[in-house]
Structure 1
Amino acid sequence: MTSNGRPSAFEANYGFARSDVRLDNWRQPPWNVWAFRHVSELIPTARIAATPGLIEDPPVDPGDLLRQTFAVGGETAGVVDVLRRTSTDALVVMKSGRVVADYHAPNFTAQSRHILFSASKSVTSIVAGILYSDGLIDFDETISHYVPELKSSAYSDASLRDVLDMRVSLDFEETYQDPRGDFARYRRAGLLEPSVPGDTPDSLIVFLASLQKGAGDHGGPFHYCSPNSDVLGLVIERASGQRFADFAAARLWQPLGARQDAYITVDAIGSARTGGGFCMTPRDLARIGEMMRLGGIANGRRIVAQDWVSDTIANGSAEAWRAGKFVEWLPEGRYRNKWYQTGNASGAFFALGIHGQYLYVNPRAEMVVAKFSSQPEPVDNDLKRLNLALFDTLARLCC
């Protein structure tokens, strides 16, 4: 409230005061709507610099698209209703390299940056693909070859390929709602949650070094574990000889033609949270998808090798996927280089983050969709299915 008892401009826009948003509630509604757009005010970040002077084109009115309806689950749904049901903050649709629709929720602009959460993993893998293209990393080499500090952990004899495809045997579970387990300790190591009494937060590398092997061998079933992607970030830093944010800026962000700086959350010693800390604008996220659709090329310039992109969108073990837990919501899927494949005839593939973050590429339709959301729950399989149905509909509408 202001001194005269009236709501401040912030409260009028969001329905709560800025002081209400804290590190212990930033991922919960209603505070997440603001927090997902202003992560750098809550958590330390490193800048990923864009090339100065590039101007963003004006937003494209999504009116015609929003008025469309489609059948889903035996019911008829309107596009705009699905955007509301999935707590959409921003949506960008590209067709054949051209933006055909921009949707922004209230208080979200074309310059607003939003956290990707685990869709960050797919961006991180592109940076790894660039190093592979340079001949600086070998996907068959062990993690401890690049990061000797992890020699006593589960990663000692895990290969980089195991890490990229989430096939590391790891005694770790993604228990998002458990405030006391290893996942909560992992978040504290990344400065994503407040410390608890008597607890000294680890750095990411100290936490990763503490993780031990699971019951099976590496290279087995698909086992989704976010720490694998932070390990990948450490490998990138060691192999490139640069801080992750600096290497990503020079080799991905600026060649891509990104219009706005991105940023990535870091831990207490400056290690990038490459498993979930990227923040960027929706248009710039869509540009990443368009680069992938074009086989690794943006602005007429090759960013990552064609064979790495082809491997990402066509390979991966169907058997490993079927043995994992995500088959429930993506029955024909596969996972390769930290990207999901739908198994659809369109060849569609996508990046995914909790609370509804997506980068969806449909090669047959020449369509890319970038979607930011603030869904109340971190994981909601029904909303995953609904989002994927929306993207399939957008592909039909845009063709």
Structure 2
Amino acid sequence: MRKWLKRIGITLAALIVVLAALGIWKREDLTRLMAVNSLFDAEKITANFSSMETLFHTRAMDGGSATPLPEGDMQGFAEVAEPLDIDSWVAENAITGLVVLGDGQLLMEGYYQGTEQDDLRMSWSVAKSVLSLLLGQLHGEGVIPDLDAQVTEFAPELRGSAYDGASIRNVLQMASGVAFNEDYFDFWSDINRMGRVLALGGSMDGFAAGQSARRGDPGADWQYVSIDTHVLSMVIRGATGRTIPELVEEKLFAPMGLRRDPFYVTDGDGVAFVLGGLNLTTRDYARIGQLVAQNGMWDGQQLVPADWIAESTVASAPGGVGYGYQWWLPEGAEAGEVYARGVYGQFIWIDRARDVVIAVNSADRAFRADGVLDGHIEMFRSLARLAETLQPAPATDAALSDE
């Protein structure tokens, strides 16, 4: 009996040593996994969304030489916007950053819940719309000339997966036909399984290639499938032989001159988490919107083809849903309205007809509650109408002839 107990004691001691060694070896991965499990906790969510570089693998990018956004009539806008009770809207929706541009000029800017102007804030799915802009550049350059080409042409590792047979256009429109559970509140959903792969340093490419379930034929219907956006990045990387951060910094961010150097969250292989891992200041999210409002033109340079802006921001997804190429259109969209949207209250609202852009970052745990999205859209439209009233009227022919 005594020898048996001694053997158990030795075994337990050995097991403790092994577990301790495993804990040291995998400490960073385990820390990231714990971060994922508490990422959205009420007492942590605001700080987490402004410090993702402390929680995950990341890849820094060059934001170019910072160029200031010109200030418009901020005092005048504050006065005309007073009846909207913006403070209540900000508080009710846990907004952390707000920037309003009219005619490319700052009309309103505010930071809340202890956050600061220079915080790099998590984009969540707003990053999808940025990737669409990059794809548009490459399409215009002829690097990816045919949107109806199969994704497997550029990402052969997807052969035999649920993506076999899907075109680039299919995944752009979230019409891949791949079955995917996007429920953030279901621990075992596909989106949350993906999050754990990311946290543990796994491969996003491998996760995408491992998708085997289909809900229907490619292009038959629309269903929001976040991993579709990662497949777009596989196509881009296959076509160019370069990483997404390299391309985005060269073709978008450096020419635009961001306020701060941004970063992407990455997987363990250093591959950018393109479907939600971009981190910018709220001002720089507004710059992205202004680029679209200006039909892809920035400081005299056509960064994104104007025809891509036009094509990607109309409702083209099957089934009549308000979705284009990784961009949303609101129900009953007015001319020129389009927006990027991320979970927990991230938005870039663009009203091209009024030349107004609104960037919002939030940490809103109630972002899916009834009426929340409609409330945001109502506020965005109200702000856009007010911003339009402060913009100078276009010069008439008579005025031009007097100069």
- Secondary structure of 1:371's aligned partner: strand
TM-superposition CA deviations, 1:221-260 (whole Å, max 9, x none): 2100100011111212221221110111001111122221
TM-superposition CA deviations, 1:76-119 (whole Å, max 9, x none): x6221111111110000000111111011143222111001011
Q: Is the 1:341–1:347 contact (alpha carbons within 8 Å) kept by the matching residues of 2?
A: no
Match of 1:341 in 2: 329
1:39 aligns with 2:47: no
Q: Is the 2:136–2:305 contact (alpha carbons within 8 Å) kept by the matching residues of 1?
A: yes
Match of 2:138 in 1: 131
| 1:70-89 correspondence runs (5 A) | 78-89=85-96
Structure 2 distance, partners of 1:122, 1:386, is 22
* TM-score in terms of structure 1 length: 0.83
Match of 2:319 in 1: 320
Structure 2 distance, partners of 1:53, 1:171, is 42
| 1:153-172 correspondence runs (5 A) | 153-172=161-180
1:370/1:284 Cα in 2 relative to 1: closer, same or farther (>3 Å)?
Answer: same
1:360/1:53 Cα in 2 relative to 1: closer, same or farther (>3 Å)?
Answer: closer
Match of 2:235 in 1: 235
Match of 1:244 in 2: 244
Structure 2 distance, partners of 1:387, 1:169, is 30
| 1:88-99 correspondence runs (5 A) | 88-99=95-106
Match of 1:8 in 2: none
Q: Is the 1:56–1:259 contact (alpha carbons within 8 Å) kept by the matching residues of 2?
A: no
Which moves more between the two structures, 159-168 or 233-242? 233-242
TM-superposition CA deviations, 1:139-198 (whole Å, max 9, x none): 11111111111111111110000000001111211011121232222111222xxx5xxx
* TM-score in terms of structure 2 length: 0.83
Q: Cα RMSD over matched residues? A: 2.1
Q: CA deviation at 1:383?
A: 1.2
- Secondary structure of 1:100's aligned partner: strand
Which moves more between the two structures, 235-244 or 386-395? 235-244
Q: Is the 1:60–1:102 contact (alpha carbons within 8 Å) kept by the matching residues of 2?
A: no
Identity %: 25
Bigger Rg over Cα: 2
Q: CA deviation at 1:48?
A: 1.8
1:64/1:366 Cα in 2 relative to 1: closer, same or farther (>3 Å)?
Answer: closer
Match of 1:29 in 2: 42
Match of 2:397 in 1: none
Structure 2 distance, partners of 1:85, 1:184, is 27
1:181 aligns with 2:196: no
1:381/1:53 Cα in 2 relative to 1: closer, same or farther (>3 Å)?
Answer: same
TM-superposition CA deviations, 1:308-355 (whole Å, max 9, x none): 0010223514x5144xxxxxxxxxxx2111001124223210000000
- Secondary structure of 2:263's aligned partner: strand
TM-superposition CA deviations, 1:274-332 (whole Å, max 9, x none): 00001100111111111101111111111011110010223514x5144xxxxxxxxxx
Match of 2:382 in 1: 393
- Secondary structure of 1:289's aligned partner: helix
Unaligned runs of 5+ in 1: 1-20, 71-76, 196-200, 323-333
Residue type matched to 1:90 in 2? G
Q: Is the 1:176–1:378 contact (alpha carbons within 8 Å) kept by the matching residues of 2?
A: no
Residue type matched to 1:128 in 2? L
Structure 1 distance, partners of 2:223, 2:239, is 25
Q: CA deviation at 1:67?
A: 7.6
1:240/1:189 Cα in 2 relative to 1: closer, same or farther (>3 Å)?
Answer: same
- Secondary structure of 2:96's aligned partner: strand
Out of 352, 357, 369, the position equivalent to 1:368 is 357
Q: Is the 2:65–2:258 contact (alpha carbons within 8 Å) kept by the matching residues of 1?
A: no
Structure 2 distance, partners of 1:39, 1:213, is 31
1:364/1:58 Cα in 2 relative to 1: closer, same or farther (>3 Å)?
Answer: closer
Q: Is the 1:136–1:240 contact (alpha carbons within 8 Å) kept by the matching residues of 2?
A: yes
1:119 aligns with 2:126: yes
Q: CA deviation at 1:63?
A: 8.6
1:237/1:64 Cα in 2 relative to 1: closer, same or farther (>3 Å)?
Answer: same
- Secondary structure of 1:89's aligned partner: strand
- Secondary structure of 1:338's aligned partner: coil
Task: Name the structure where helix makes up a greater proportion of residues.
Answer: 2
Residue type matched to 1:107 in 2? G
Structure 2 distance, partners of 1:46, 1:321, is 37
Match of 2:398 in 1: none
Match of 1:146 in 2: 154
Q: Is the 1:289–1:368 contact (alpha carbons within 8 Å) kept by the matching residues of 2?
A: yes
1:215/1:33 Cα in 2 relative to 1: closer, same or farther (>3 Å)?
Answer: closer
Structure 2 distance, partners of 1:82, 1:240, is 44
Match of 2:117 in 1: 110
Which moves more between the two structures, 214-223 or 117-126? 214-223
